[in-house]
Amino acid sequence: MQTPYSTLNRLNIAKAQLSSCITVRLSRYVTRITRRKGSRSFFSKFR
């Protein structure tokens, strides 16, 4: 028997794992771009 709380908790864990994975990939992608173009030009775009 599964209580609704356990399924909700499992969903939250899955969301957390997904978000962490996305952030890691994003950070790697950003670092890759900054290495190519130079960090100064990259950050000046966001300011």
- Give the burial string for 8-32 (b: 16+ CB within 10 Å, else e): eeeeeeeeeeeeeeeeeeeeeeeee
Cβ atoms within 10 Å, residue 43: 10
> Are the CB atoms for 33 and 42 separated by under 8 Å?
yes
Residues in contact with 6: Cβ distance below 8 Å, sequence separation at least 6, in sequence order: none
pTM of the model as a whole: 0.49
pLDDT at 6: 87
pLDDT per residue over 4-43, tens digit each? 788 889 999 999 999 999 999 999 998 887 787 665 665 6
- For residue 29, give the amino acid letter: Y
